[in-house]
Every structure is written in structure tokens, then in C-alpha cells.
Amino acid sequence: MTEPVSSKPARPPRIGDPAPDFIARSTRGRVRLSSYRGRWLLFFSHPADFTPVCTTEFVGLARRQAEFDALDCALVGLSVDSLYSHLAWVKAIEQQFDVTIQFPIIEDPSMAVGLAYGMVDDSSTDAMAMRSAYFIDPDGIIRAITTYPHNVGRSADEMLRLVAALKAVGDGRGFAPEGWQPGDALLAPPPDGDDAPEEGADWFCRPLA
């Protein structure tokens, strides 16, 4: 059973909003989203169990679990399927692909969480649009959101890169450029409107000193 902890927000949560809290059953026991405070969290949904694209995503994430752990980032999956379906699917994945799904997969049969997060709208009768991911910081604030169609899989590489980039720019001192990877230079923020540009042609796009 899924239990939203607070009432449904007036609009879907956006970047910078607190992540809606909930309590739900999962393949790893009862989960409360706010219990992940103090570390990063990648909360992602998938349309259905026993589907080809979702299976490849879960295999990819399971194989990169140690890298998410190194970033101190927990993983939590969600779909509308029942807990019993989740358990059967996890077992099938582990047997077929020789991986262990260590992260919890929560059930959302009423789509209560999907509705609270804006993954589906009030008129939806199914969850085919629910391939969204929320990157939540240690204070429970949503720092990035991605949404993919049901027939295109997400990249575990990009999920890892995005978590690392969000952590790197978290102090507000710099920006992560296109294709940024851990160890690369960040970009300096643009000068304030009242400040004259510094000499040189690169004043608007330069590495952080």
C-alpha cells in the first residue's frame, strides 16, 4: 500500500521544490522517501515490470550500483505493478542476467505517487508515461528531473554523470559545461550585471579559477 505523507501539491513538483514524501511497500521492505535525507537520491519510475526497455535499465543500474554508492547516492525505483510482480521480475532479472538488484522497487498501484510527482495527470488510466527520474539532494530538494518516452531507455552513464555534476556545482561557485565529467574544470559564473566584462574575449565563458 502506498501512502502519500502530505496532500497532493497544487502543481507537479519542479526543480527547487521539496520532493513529495510518501510511505510505500517495496522489494526491500517499507520505504519512506524522507528517510533518505542526508544523502543524494535518484528516484526513478518505469512503466511496467517484465518489459524489455525497463529490464535493460534495471540491469544497467544494478551493474553500476557501486558507482552510485561511491557518490553517496541511493537508488529507488517505482512502478504501478504490485509488490509480488516486482519480486518475480527481480528474481527473473537476477537469474537471466546474473546481477543483483540491491535497490528497492516500490509499488504504486493507485498511481498516488505518480500523480503527486506529476508523472501522470489526473485523467490517466495507465502509467505508460511514467519513465521519469528525480535527482534529490540531501536536504530533500529536487535538483534535476528527466522524462523519457516509454519506448526509449535511459542511460546509467548519464544518470551517474548528472549526480556527479549536481554535487560538483552544489556550492554555487561554478557551472558544469556540456559533457562535463568528474575531474574536468567547471565554468566560472558570468559577471554580475553591474560589473564591466573583464578584458579578453573569453569573459563570458571561461574555466573556474
Please give the Cα distance from 143 to 42 (Å, whole number): 10
As separate numbers, helices (DSSP H) first and strands (DSSP E) second, the chain gives 5, 8
Assign 3-state DSSP to the chain and report helix, strand, coil percentages, each to 5: 25, 20, 55
Closest to 23 measured CA to CA, from 103, 86, 107 = 107
* Cα–Cα distance, 25 to 31 (Å, whole number): 6
The residues facing 3 across adjacent strands are 23
**Which among 19, 24, 54, 76 is annotated as catalytic?**
54
In degrees and rounded to multiples of 5, residue 36 shows phi and psi of -90, 5
54 is catalytic: yes
Q: What is the dihedral of CA 166, 168, 174, 175, to 10 degrees?
A: -40
Give the residue numbers marked as catalytic.
54
